[in-house]
Amino acid sequence: MIVTLLGLACFALLVVSLTPRLVGMAPLPDRIRNVSLFAIMALLITIVGLIQSWNVALALLNLCLISSIMALGVNIQWGYAGLLNVGIMGFAALGGVAAVLISADPVADAWAAGALGIFVSFILAVVTVMAAIYTYRNIAPSMARNLALFAIIVIGLVVIRYFYGPARDAIEDVNPASEGYLGGLGLPIILAWPVGGVFAGLAAWVIGKTALGLRSDYLAIATLGIAEIIVAIIKHEDWLTRGVKNVSGLPRPVPYEIDLQQSQWFVDLATRLGQDPALSSSVFVKLCYAILFAIVLLAVLWLSERALNSPWGRMMRAIRDNEVSANAMGKDVVARHLQVFVLGSIVVGIAGAMLTTLDGQLTPGAYQPLRFTFLIWVMVILGGSGNNWGAVLGGFVVWFFWIQAEPIGSWLMETITSGMAEDNALRIHLLNSTAHMRLMTMGIILLLVLRFSPRGLIPEK
């Protein structure tokens, strides 16, 4: 009940700030509006903490922070440069892979069994691509060249599979119930965050190199494709990521609850605060995560703001608003687009690695485009494309409602169907379908904001 009231109150506030004229109010001054929007958000999370529990509130806060970083990354691409990335899921997943490759313990038997074969096939893949590029560049266009290219690729694939197949099988046979993959480097998981950024940046460079400079939709479709493929690889290459068997038990950058409960200083602290040690240990862990994530968020935000207000940022906006004239001023539009596309993807990759760190496991099946790509888009559009603070706020607001929409939705359905009989088929169907209401709600929010308040909650200056 309280949650619903809360939801309605916030909804009203959001509407007021989105379209003041619609409800007959003068628009609030920028600074007051921005501060009060963030204050409302903080208040909402506090209320969740008071009503539900601090554990829930902090879990919500952590995911809000990660979502905000992803939204910042997308805002760099879309807000600064007008580039449409529909493959956010893929870049986030690459961050997750980085978390596994950096932090999981290496599986020595698997390395002995198949690492060489995998390495050889990787080298062969590089050689094949190089040979194909060399042939393409150095032989005059002709039927013979095309046949040669075809032969190189087919022979390359066959030879690679010759080495790769046995190596993969050997690795996957090593203790398949709990291992069956190469494992990682066993390094601290914090290192995976920048590495995740690098992975995502490399993928973005390849995509950008082919799809930028062509018509705008091509980038969207190419990113849609690369995201599907990255997730397919993560799901099916068991030797790398254990596939759908998941890699669980990744090390943490923060203490474990059980250690806290056994250490004297923590128990003392909890008793002094009058809290149950078991409960406060999990709150403490979440708080540690929140601090780490907040540091990254503030760093990314600070850098983005600096970049946006620098000559580089002005150039990016000039290119976005009029490519032709920016080009005429001597700006290399395609190169700048590539640069900003890679930068934004790096930020998304970092956030992806952070998400896997928070979960403590890589679950490839969890990478759903609706959750990872389109939800982030709603955050950016709702928050205010082109404004970093807007993207951060959008990340908070959308994630908050994405989580809280479920109780609101089921309450709504209960109310609507309360007049029907208990065993009414329609009623049962409606109650079972509330989970899908979230998608529809997000779609409707996206469409409404895009139409009635395209500049979002915190518009670009």
Partner 1 sequence: MELLNAFILLSNFVLVPAIAYGSQLALGALGVTLIYGILRFSNFAHGDTMAFGAMVTILFTWWFQSMGISIDPLPTALLALPFGILCCIGFVLATDRIVYRFYRRQKAAPVIFLIASMGVMFVTNGIVRFIIGPNDQQFADGERFIVKARTFKQMTGLEEGLSFKVSQGITVVTAILVVIALFWFLNRTRTGKSMRAYSDNEDLALLSGINPDKVVMVAWIIAATLATIAGTLYGLDKSFKPFTYLQLLLPIFAAAIVGGLGSPIGAIAGGFVIAFSEIMVTYAYKKFIAYLVPESWEPDTLVQLLSTDYKFAVSFMILLLVLLFRPTGIFAGKSV
How far, in Å, CA of 86 to CA of 96, rounded? 18
Smallest gap from Cβ 129 to partner 1, in A, equals: 12
Contact pick of 38, 111, 205, 218 for partner 1 (by CB under 8 A): 218
Question: Is residue 447 close enough to count as binding partner 1 by CB under 8 A?
Answer: yes
Shortest reach from residue 331's CB to partner 1, in Å: 20
The answer to the question of residue 306 lying near partner 1 (CB under 8 A) is no
Which of the stretches 38-46, 95-103, 159-167, 354-362 binds partner 1 when contact is defined by CB under 8 A? Answer: 159-167
**Termini Cα distance of the chain:** 39
DSSP secondary-structure letter at 24?
T
Q: Does 210 bind partner 1 (CB under 8 A)?
A: yes
At 214, give phi and psi (nearest 5°).
Answer: -100, -170
Is the Cβ–Cβ distance between 453 and 18 less than 8 Å? Answer: yes
Residue burial 197-219, b: 16+ Cβ < 10 Å; e: rest: bebbbebbeebbeebbeeeeeeb
3-class state of residue 77 by DSSP: helix
Residue 262 as a binder of partner 1 (CB under 8 A): the answer is no
Please report which helix (H) or strand (E) contains residue 397, including its range. helix 388-417
Spell out, one character per residue from 371 to 390, where the chain touches partner 1: x when CB under 8 A holds, - when not.
---x--x---x---------
User: How many residues lie near partner 1 (CB under 8 A)?
Assistant: 49
Residue among 195, 218, 189, 233 nearest 341 (CA): 218
Nearer to partner 1, 314 or 436 (CB): 436
CB neighbourhood size of 234 (10 A): 24
Task: Using CB under 8 A, pick the residue from 127, 185, 198, 224 that binds partner 1.
Answer: 224
- Residue 167 sits in the site that holds partner 1 (CB under 8 A): no
Written as six digits, the tokens of 210 are 């082919």
* Region of 37-45, 94-102, 175-183, 369-377 interacting with partner 1 (CB under 8 A): 369-377
Among 158, 177, 324, 425, indicate the residue that binds partner 1 (CB under 8 A).
158
**Structure token pair of residue 64:** 């809000």
Residue 189 to residue 167: CA distance in whole angstroms: 27
Cα–Cα distance, 38 to 46 (Å, whole number)? 12
How many C-beta atoms surround the C-beta of residue 295 within 10 A?
11
Task: Find, among 326, 287, 263, the residue nearest to 80 by Cα.
Answer: 326
- Under rule CB under 8 A, which residues in 39-98 are in contact with partner 1? 82, 84, 86
**Stretch of residues binding partner 1 (CB under 8 A), selected from 19-27, 192-200, 218-226, 388-396:** 218-226
Could you tell me which stretch among 51-59, 214-222, 302-310, 353-361 binds partner 1 (CB under 8 A)? 214-222
Q: How far is the CB of 183 from partner 1 (least distance, A)?
A: 22
The yes or no reply on residue 272 touching partner 1 (CB under 8 A) is: no
Does 35 engage in binding with partner 1 (CB under 8 A)? no
Query: Measured from the CB atom, is 89 or 346 closer to partner 1?
Result: 89
CB 146 within 8 A of CB 153: no
Question: Can you name the residues that pair with 247 across neighbouring β-strands?
Answer: 362
> By the criterion CB under 8 A, which residues form the site for partner 1?
82, 84, 86, 154, 157-158, 161-162, 165, 210-211, 214-218, 220-222, 224-226, 228-229, 232-233, 235-236, 369-370, 374, 377, 381, 432-433, 436-444, 446-447, 450-451, 454
